[in-house]
Amino acid sequence: MRHFSFRPALTMKGRKFKGLRGLAGKPLHPPLTDIPITAYLFVAVFDVISVAVHGGHHALGRQMYLAGSWTLLGGAAVSVLAALTGTIDWWKSSEAGTQARRTINAHAITMITVTVIVLVDVIVRFTGYHHRPYAPALIVVLSVVAGVLVSIGATYGGSLVYDYGFNVETAGDHPVWHKSETDVLPGQPH
């Protein structure tokens, strides 16, 4: 019995290109979401640490605030691509009136709210508070709220994949956990 067989996961041959949606079985949206989700959670942590240590460790408080600011900016930049690919998925892959579409709408509204909060956070950080020795209360509140909401939005997104199988394409007529010693590759008969 083989213990490691990952060739089908890396195979691009036989996969249909779907534009901004990615390749069949390899959508672009899910991996792009990992960066902003992680970034926004780290920003909240960096800002809270910044405030917690500023009294006795001014340099560390400042560094945590700067780390949060630049991490937020990076997450916001990648979220533009995630939003674009998510919008294309919503438009091309979902059907109005279905539970999946309603879940997608909840996911989208939550993530749009996060994006607005993040944009306000970026503007406030880089226009009025960029020289502060630690994160001001307003920025901490914005980053913590964004971190909580992005977690909720990510839960909706995960539900789309794991509960509804939204945009999930198997290599054939059976799931990937099918017991077999033969690699099942896209576009090949089984």
Is residue 6 assigned to a domain? no
Is residue 172 assigned to a domain? no
Q: Identify the sign of the CA torsion 28, 32, 37, 38.
A: positive
Is the confidence at residue 131, as pLDDT, over 90?
A: no
Is residue 64 assigned to a domain? yes
Closest CA to 61 of 52, 70, 69: 52
Is residue 175 assigned to a domain? no
Is the confidence at residue 42, as pLDDT, over 60?
A: yes
Is residue 15 assigned to a domain? no
Report pTM.
0.79
Is residue 2 assigned to a domain? no
Across all residues in the chain, what is the average pLDDT? Answer: 83
52: containing domain: 23-162
Measured CA to CA in angstroms, residue 176 lies from 1, 30, 182 at distances of: 16, 18, 11
Q: How many CA atoms lie within 13 A of 105 on its CB side?
A: 8
Of 5 and 54, the one with more pLDDT: 54
Lookup result for tokens 């576009």: 187
Backbone angles phi, psi at 22, to 5 degrees: 105, -155
Is residue 1 assigned to a domain? no
pLDDT at position 174? 52
- Radius of gyration (Cα) for the chain, nearest Å? 21
Amino acid at 91: W
Overall domain count for the chain: 1
Is residue 80 assigned to a domain? yes
